[in-house]
Structure 1
């Protein structure tokens, strides 16, 4: 699931249905169903202006793998290209011209031209790159490497690896704080969150026991809280960033895999893979 940049709607990838659902975040109603015929859709990201969405689509054996472009004005696919094995949590660069594609079952990151989906760069990284986040100054990308227990730092201008940062076990999702001073990494195996200072490329804090099997993380707009989707215990963890402690675990459904917060910080959207639902939660409840 991904929330559009303006918060007006969300796209939810439904691999069983073979479609992306357009969701009203205020009511939870499905406004449109967008078939993705190439392969089961898995994850979604938006262009910075929200006019396009990029969908990763692959089957369970990684035999069929695609990046699909959806025009959000008409809720319809307009382009698709075959790619490597298991395209995962893609991200568009800060200016929207490049798409960064990590692969679950590869040891490189592809950089595609968003206008044509042509390959521009291929960057060798540690195995199983999962998720991409960018620094506030638009100079660097940070990439979780799920089976290597590191975060890879990439210089965007040269498309080169600068360093790797050891984190917890099984790093999965990563997101930059609203003020740009921290990156939060959820570690699926060690059940914790690593906080990285991009000025020094070091882990400056670890929040333990956020929940069982955290797969996704997002910041509150004011940067005071983090929310984690904990797939193995059916909860969303609420982290007070200043104290580095978990203040609540909110029961949400069967196997939550993604969490997003509305731009005003009032509501959380949580996808539950196990029961095929999307829950809307009051963020203040945490």
Structure 2
């Protein structure tokens, strides 16, 4: 079992799910599990196939339940990137990143996996999450053209209408909300910033500069510059703690996760991680932080009380991407992109044992992943 420690500095989102009924399916691969285990369901997007797959894990075996084609243009790839399930479990949402010319979010019924509405967003919408009040926040990552400040779109999911587009900074990603839905966090890869949005007022509340060695509150409206040759964080994800008192930021370029105190708006700890930390999730019990190491073909599990990495689990293929943790804090479901002609994969990690419990192949370039429900047996 791999262990690492964090260094200090001077200077979960909660998971909502219902227990719903679904037909049992036959499995494919996995390890022995305890009898009477519940079944867990997650959705995962395959960006290179315009497809979203529904996966079931029964405590022993992970298997493919359904595949949904989500592309809108038969002659080109729309690139489904982000996934979210609303708090009542009745709908799931997918962002179509390569829009014409803009991107979109499309709602689907979890009962039928059929479309239930859509809304136009900004350029290359990526990660997203839905508040208990029914507002969806999607980061418009914007890979098109010159690097310029982009935005976070806010959609009323009842009407499927974009009600606000909040300017933030360049290439926003890692769109996550506090469990009460009052604050939204995202990071900007090209501006080295963490951005906090007031989810009630729909405006930027604060920014935090993430450049290594210069981490501090950023009270300006203008974007910081990157001196040539200076070390960079290149943030890819922002994840609030379950109680909303901390925010964790993945620094993809310098192999760290930063822990930032929300009240003082100061850096508390640095987690020295594996290569290329990319996506993060905090277990609903608040005990662990799960980190995909996109450059290291592994997923790290951190004990937040001790600041130690208690497990580093090899992934089945290269480029681990997204994470969805089960409501009981037992399993992490990790999407793995793969390369070339390889299929994508969902690896199921047992967080108590620190091992991979099961795997199942899905569509190519598996990315966005979202937890749907637990079905008791």
Same fold, TM-score > 0.5, yes or no: yes
Structure 1 residues 196, 25: closer, same or farther in 2, change over 3 A? farther
Give the aligned partner of residue 170 of structure 1. Answer: 234
Is the contact made by 1:25 and 1:269 (CA closer than 8 Å) also made in structure 2?
A: no
Please list, as runs of the form range in 1=range in 2, the aligned pairs for 1:56-205 lying within 5 A after superposition.
Answer: 56-59=95-98, 63=101, 65-96=103-134, 98-105=135-142, 107-167=150-210, 169-205=233-269
**TM-score relative to the length of structure 1:** 0.90
Q: CA deviation at 1:17?
A: 2.5
Gaps in structure 2 of 5+ consecutive residues: 1-14, 20-39, 73-77, 143-148, 212-232, 355-377
> How far did residue 18 of structure 1 move?
1.5
Please state how far the C-alpha of 1:58 moved relative to its aligned partner. 2.2
- Residues 22 and 243 of structure 1, relative CA distance in 2, 3 Å threshold: same
The equivalences for 1:178-257 within 5 A come to: 178-208=242-272, 210-253=273-316, 254-257=318-321
Structure 1 residue 56: deviation in Å?
0.8
CA–CA separation in structure 1 for the residues paired with 2:71 and 2:42: 20
Are 2:349 and 1:281 equivalent residues in the alignment? yes
C-alpha separation in 2, matches of 1:180 and 1:246:
22
Structure number, greater radius of gyration: 2
Bigger mean CA deviation after superposition, 229-238 or 63-72: 63-72
State the partner residue of 2:226: none
TM-score normalized by the length of structure 2: 0.70
Deviation at 1:28, TM superposition (A): 1.5
Aligned residues: 281
In the TM superposition, what whole-angstrom CA distance separates every residue of 1:22-42 from its partner, at most 9, and x where no partner exists? 111333211111110222211
Say whether the 8 Å CA contact 2:141–2:173 is kept in structure 1.
yes
SS in 2 for 1:33: strand
State the superposition RMSD in angstroms: 2.1
Q: Shift of residue 173 of structure 1?
A: 1.8
Partner of residue 268, structure 1: 332
Cα deviations across residues 144-170 of structure 1 (Å, max 9, x unaligned)? 112211111111222121210123512
Higher relative contact order (CA 8 A, sep 6+): 2
Q: For structure 1, which segment, 171-180 or 256-265, has the greater mean C-alpha deviation from structure 2 after superposition?
A: 171-180
Q: CA deviation at 1:246?
A: 2.2
Partners of 1:68 and 1:211 lie apart in 2 by: 34
How far did residue 229 of structure 1 move?
0.8
Is the aligned partner of 1:16 residue 2:39? no
1:83 to partner: Cα distance: 2.4
Give the direction of change, closer, same or farther, for the CA distance of 1:42–1:158 in structure 2 (3 Å limit): same
- The alpha-carbon deviation at position 74 of structure 1 amounts to 0.9
Tell whether the 8 Å contact from 2:16 to 2:327 is kept in structure 1 after alignment: no
| Partner Cα separation in structure 2 for residue 89 and residue 28 of structure 1 | 24
Structure 1 SS opposite 2:352:
helix
Q: Structure 1: where are the runs of 5+ without partners?
A: none
Post-superposition Cα deviations, 1:3-26, rounded to whole Å, max 9, x if no partner, equal 873484111001222111011133
> C-alpha separation between the residues in 2 aligned to 1:212 and 1:32?
33
